[in-house]
Amino acid sequence: MSECIMVGCDLHQKTLVLRYALDRGSIEARTFANDRPGRRVMIDWLNQMRRQRGAGRVLFAYEASSEGFGLYDELRAAAVECHVLAPTRIARSSKHARGKNDGRDAVQLLELLRAHVLAGNALPTVWVPDLQTRDDRELVRLRLDVADKRIVTKNQVQSLLKRNEVRRPAGTGKSWTNTYWAWLKGLASGRVEGLGSGGRVALSSLLRQMGAIEDEIARLDKQVSVLSRSSRYRDAVKRLLTIKGVATLSAMVFLTELGDVRRFSNRRQLAAYLGLVPTSNETGERHDCKGHITRQGPSRVRKVLCQSTWALIRTDPQFAAAYAGIVRRNPKHRKIAVVAIMRRLAIVMWHRAVDDGPPSEAREQSPGVAA
């Protein structure tokens, strides 16, 4: 086997802290700036070291973070084998936590690479989406984020009314109906009594923010709809929309977060990726000790699955009967029933999408964990 250069990198916004070694050789250290010129210098240095030491391979590992996958793309383009690791799947002792620093983190990543190359241990990698999937995610994720801002603003309005002991009068209907909006606007303008001058200014500002958020949601919905009709997603979205409770946004969240739906070989892999499998704490004679779901993977998918599940329970007799049966067995734990239906729905959506799902440039990668 030819010699191999292995590099563990603790990635930060401004620096790349490296610990590297040749096979079982001693560990050495380097640091580079985390910008385009700094990464270019690092890649040139790696290639130069490969030539000087006659190494056949260069392996590089860093942890997934908000820095994205730009470093991964640059290293792969330079023929460096790059692995992006999942921080949640790297075992760390309490001693490591007490003595944590950039160098020790880089050493740990290097040792994981060594165990992978020299002993065949599996690496806790994440699945890296292709460039188009990353770009599509930006739009779909922003749509979800803006909806969260709407919820926050609504809560601010409700809190303002509670602090000033303003109660909704009879006849205004449910919250956020047209009648309710008219009453709020009356409070903000002073036509309806209940708020002082400061409260009216604050409520007026919140209502303007709500209006802007609603307009932005409408614009983003149009863009998501356009994306769903593109050749990349059109067929899969059509199949997903045949499922009751699944709308265009839910389908697009599912497809963009999973990326290549065909990388999952069975439903267990899918459920584990989505964090819809129970945790376990079994040892000795203690068997079948299951806990809450792991909640690993893309939380955005679980969110839309939960929303679609409630719609599905109300509209689909088969899923409604399944939900009722689980509730009868666990009347005090209705959440268990909801999670079980979420898992079933995710599997149904996967089967519908997998026939001609979105293409991927990284089919050879393992399912990994959420990117």
Which residue among 119, 139, 173 closes a domain? 119
**Whole-number Å distance between alpha carbons of 253 and 300:** 7
Is residue 181 within 8 A of residue 162, CB to CB? The reply is no
**Whole-number Å distance between alpha carbons of 203 and 46:** 58
Domain identity same for 347 and 255: yes
For the chain, what is the domain count? 3
Q: Please, where are the H alpha helices in the chain? A: 36-53, 70-77, 94-98, 102-119, 131-163, 178-189, 197-228, 234-240, 248-258, 267-273, 299-315, 317-329, 334-354
Domain identity same for 238 and 224: no
Which residue among 228, 257, 278 closes a domain? 228
Q: Please, where are the H alpha helices in 230-333? A: 234-240, 248-258, 267-273, 299-315, 317-329
Q: How many CB atoms lie within 10 A of CB 86?
A: 19
pLDDT tens by residue, 85-96: 999 889 888 887
Residue 199 lies in a domain: yes
Domain containing 60 — which CATH number?
3.30.420.40
Q: Is the overall model pTM greater than 0.75, yes or no?
A: yes
Domain identity same for 34 and 89: yes
Domain identity same for 21 and 99: yes
Domain identity same for 160 and 254: no
- DSSP, res 130: P
**Whole-number Å distance between alpha carbons of 204 and 187:** 9
CB-neighbour burial class of residue 173 (10 A; exposed 0-12, middle 13-18, buried 19+) = middle
Could you list the pLDDT tens digit for every one of the 371 residues in the chain? 468 999 999 999 999 999 999 999 999 999 999 999 999 999 999 999 999 988 889 999 999 999 999 999 999 999 999 999 999 889 888 887 788 899 999 999 999 999 999 999 999 999 999 999 999 999 999 999 999 999 999 999 999 999 999 998 888 778 899 999 999 999 999 999 999 999 999 999 999 999 999 999 999 999 999 999 999 999 999 999 999 999 999 999 999 999 999 999 999 999 999 999 888 776 666 666 677 888 888 999 999 999 999 999 999 999 999 999 999 998 888 899 999 999 999 999 999 998 744 444 333 344 555 55
For residue 75, the enclosing domain spans 4-119
Domain identity same for 12 and 77: yes
Domain identity same for 60 and 146: no
